[in-house]
Amino acid sequence: MSKYLDYEGLQYYTTKVKGAINVNTQNITCNWNMSKNRVIFTLNELKTRNTTGTWNDNVYEANKLKFTINKDNTITITSEGQAITSTTFLNIIISQDYNDGNQYVLSGCPSGGSAANSYSMILYNSNGSDRLAVDSGNTVTFTGNYNSTKLSLRFQTGVIYSEMIFRPMIALKSVYDITSEYEQGALSNVELTNNVATTTEIDNIWNGT
């Protein structure tokens, strides 16, 4: 029997139940569409997508700009009082489809940015030549008519960047309108299949006991 678990349920399950003695085997899967935030990545994925600078554990440095990847997938940046020496990108997602015709909201860029003069978060087309949506601190809505989109943070050269936190999120507008609060993206189906323990206690969660 297959049971479907939303992200909050998964967090509860992995916190409260994982580690108990395995008795029964059940198939637990999660449709990523249940996650509010569609921006889903791991630290290792970021390391393979950003190679022009240097990595030290969860800290990436390029052109005098420092990125710290936090455990909740927010990203702290600072240039520590120095002007950065070149336009700098942090590539977050390199291929993701939004092709269902729904309205989405791109959010999480700190207020006060500017695509032309300082910092922004940009959703590009598949080859990076066109900007499909740009958040410079005020969020932006776009229609899901695209395949293989790319999401990057972009920082203009010659600017001193004080410490700030990016919270990259793409959510259905209908969900974002209910709550705009940042939520870390959910795990993929494959990761859930590999990582979730199965126990007799899981039925108690489904049944509310």
For the chain, which residues make up each domain, given as ranges?
Answer: 1-35+186-209, 36-184
At 54, which helix (H) or strand (E)?
Answer: strand 54-56
Tokens of 4: 């479907």
Confidence label for 4 from pLDDT (cuts 50, 70 and 90): very low
Confidence label for 35 from pLDDT (cuts 50, 70 and 90): confident
As a whole number, mean pLDDT of residues 69-86 equals: 97
State yes or no: pLDDT of 84 exceeds 60.
yes
pTM of the model: 0.75
State yes or no: pLDDT of 195 exceeds 90.
no
pLDDT recorded at residue 28: 40
Buried/exposed code over 61-96 (b: 16+ C-beta within 10 A; e: otherwise): bbbbbbbbbeeebbbebbbeeeebeeebbbbbbbeb
State yes or no: pLDDT of 177 exceeds 80.
yes
CATH 3.30.70 matches 36-184: no
Instruction: Give me the half-sphere count of Cα atoms (radius 13 Å) on the Cβ side of residue 38.
Output: 22
User: What pLDDT digit, counting tens, does each position of 88-140 carry?
Assistant: 999 999 999 999 999 999 999 999 999 999 999 999 998 888 999 999 999 99
pLDDT recorded at residue 50: 98
- Please give the radius of gyration of the chain, using alpha carbons only, rounded to the nearest integer: 19
As a whole number, mean pLDDT of residues 65-76 equals: 98
